[in-house]
Chain A
């Protein structure tokens, strides 16, 4: 509890006890009025002061003013009708303040539990200076410093690991519980927890630029961007209070006047009481608070699962999405090319690989890289000469005095070798040695283990159309689409074509669309789609920048998870809106008919708020 809350608790307890004592005290007339007023002031003085300030500032219709009017009104009723019964006036304000107290506790408690979720900010760094370790704030560590992270500690800044191996727990950033191994020379992301041995890191970024700071900033910004439901509620709140207050005024004046005109007794006090009930329920706080709180809890819960949702409106759109569009390489497939086989070759796979890898030894193309990786025994560089790269064709080099050409069919044609086609799916690299065809190597990209399950899950969740867009050839694309049971596939696309395809799908009016890509090549598509989801966000600033939703690791199973979290969050938002509005309007109607008393009204105000807040917190535990 905060100081304010403790003080309030004290006041409520004291006033409550005095209030009970008053019931048994033999006080009459002015004495009773005085005692009641005293107790009343103990609980109500701040409300009165605030409402007085509000009046001076020209802010008539705030909650304090309403409560002051309602409770003073109840007091006045006690004096006017001669009953000298002030219990209701005191009880109303006592109950109101208790409600407010609960409310403020519930809010600060939930605020804390959500912000704790985002508490991945490191507090200190051990810096090595002149061979000595000193502990400083991560803000004060310049680029290029050596920091030491002990097992169990958070990595405070991004950097490169030096000397020793260790394992990192990245779950705070990625939601992935399998530890990630680090070796010297590898990049280490801030926000991860070191698990095994002390890790020496040479920092490459300042704290303000570090991964953990960026993620925190994004989360904060995310919760500041308002969704449609939030905007609706804000607008609603702005008109709701004046309307209810106006209605209260009418209720206090109109029926008595009508009764008088019709020759009945006016019953001023009854109608005044009913009007006061209106005033109590006129605060729209339950709605104004619980909606953003639900989104906040949802964004926080998603963050813990390694899914960064950059604003509550994306949460809204994602929950409604009907069309799922995927990039292939690196999204559904691993993006790592592996040598599968060699066909039609007089050489063994390893011998052929050795020659091809040697020819590709200086190439930076992914195919070259995968050939080199698959080659178990690389030839020394002294065996390789005259390497020439031919754009769009391949590579020709002299390896062990043989002319080796590695590339596509066109290159084979140029070499005068007759290329044989392949019946398998994948990327085919033809090889000619001394102008004679020496077979081809089949390289293919394998599907991620969870891709098929993720797509099946999306279908089960009611996604109406799944589409894959790829730059790859038709055979490969169709094989992948078939294996994953995708509805539609478009192949041999350049990034600009992907944008056009996405636009066409968006025009087809099936529903909202999300696009999943890797964030580097697909930035324009990510930006164009209703919701752009980038995979493998951790460590890729481009992906974090371009996308609306960032999946920190590269597991496609997090896409249905993100949708489930978004849907659960939206369900909670709808429940809260419905519940709060129903409770308030029921109470308004019952109040007008004289069927609800002050207690009921205060429950409709504070009780509903507390229930809505508690419900919001559920969004945090989305699965």
Chain B
């Protein structure tokens, strides 16, 4: 199950860090950030609670880059 989210982040290195952080969240199988399109694609584990996982993803991303926005 893959979903796209609009994001707002200023620097490419921060985006790379957010991508790394998202991959570390449990319930996430894979994550790719397309910095230029300002888009985060998250692939969820089977049966994961998407809402809960995304809350954790936002938290993890805010931790590495306080200045980012993720539209869930």
Does B36 touch A at the CB level, under 8 Å? yes
Of A63, A104, A234, A293, which one neighbours B36 at CB under 8 angstroms? A293
Does A484 touch B at the CB level, under 8 Å? no
Give chain B nearest CB distance to A393 CB in angstroms: 51
CB-based contact A224/B64 at 8 Å: no
Mark contacts of A214-234 with chain B using CB atoms, 8 A cut-off: 1 yes-contact digit, 0 otherwise. 000000100110100000001
Interface residues of A in 343-388 (CB under 8 A from B): none
CB-based contact B66/A224 at 8 Å: no
Please report the C-alpha to C-alpha distance between residue A383 and residue B66 in the assembled complex, in whole angstroms. 83
Give chain A nearest CB distance to B2 CB in angstroms: 10
Stretch at the interface among A157-165, A284-292, A419-427, A468-476: A284-292
* Interface of A, helix, strand, loop or mixed by DSSP: helix
Does A76 touch B at the CB level, under 8 Å? no
CB-based contact A223/B11 at 8 Å: no
Of A104, A224, A288, which one neighbours B10 at CB under 8 angstroms? A104
Chain A residues closer than 8 Å to B10, beta-carbon distance = 104, 107
Mark contacts of A84-122 with chain B using CB atoms, 8 A cut-off: 1 yes-contact digit, 0 otherwise. 000000000000000000001001000100110000000
Of B14, B36, B39, which one neighbours A292 at CB under 8 angstroms? B36
CB-based contact B66/A57 at 8 Å: yes
CB-based contact A237/B13 at 8 Å: yes
Chain B residues closer than 8 Å to A226, beta-carbon distance = 32
Q: Find the residue from A50, A63, A107, A224 having the highest chain B CB count within 10 A.
A: A224
Does A78 touch B at the CB level, under 8 Å? no
Chain B residues closer than 8 Å to A335, beta-carbon distance = none
CB-based contact B13/A285 at 8 Å: yes
Tell me how many residues of B have a C-beta within 8 Å of chain A.
20
Please report the C-alpha to C-alpha distance between residue A57 and residue B61 in the assembled complex, in whole angstroms. 11
Chain A residues closer than 8 Å to B63, beta-carbon distance = 57-59
Tell me how many residues of A have a C-beta within 8 Å of chain B.
27
Q: A57-B64, A57-B66 are in contact. Are A220 and B34 (CB under 8 A)?
A: yes
Please report the C-alpha to C-alpha distance between residue A284 and residue B16 in the assembled complex, in whole angstroms. 11
Give chain A nearest CB distance to B5 CB in angstroms: 13
Does A53 touch B at the CB level, under 8 Å? yes
Please report the C-alpha to C-alpha distance between residue A289 and residue B14 in the assembled complex, in whole angstroms. 10
Chain A residues closer than 8 Å to B71, beta-carbon distance = none
Chain A residues closer than 8 Å to B39, beta-carbon distance = 220, 224
Interface residues of B in 55-72 (CB under 8 A from A): 62-67
Give chain B nearest CB distance to A58 CB in angstroms: 8
Please report the C-alpha to C-alpha distance between residue A58 and residue B65 in the assembled complex, in whole angstroms. 11
Chain B residues closer than 8 Å to A293, beta-carbon distance = 12, 36
Does A283 touch B at the CB level, under 8 Å? yes
Q: A237-B16, A292-B12 are in contact. Are A50 and B35 (CB under 8 A)?
A: no
Please report the C-alpha to C-alpha distance between residue A62 and residue B11 in the assembled complex, in whole angstroms. 11
Does A54 touch B at the CB level, under 8 Å? yes
- Give the top 9 A-B pairs by smallest Cβ distance, nearest first: A289-B12, A57-B63, A288-B12, A53-B66, A288-B13, A224-B32, A296-B36, A224-B34, A285-B13
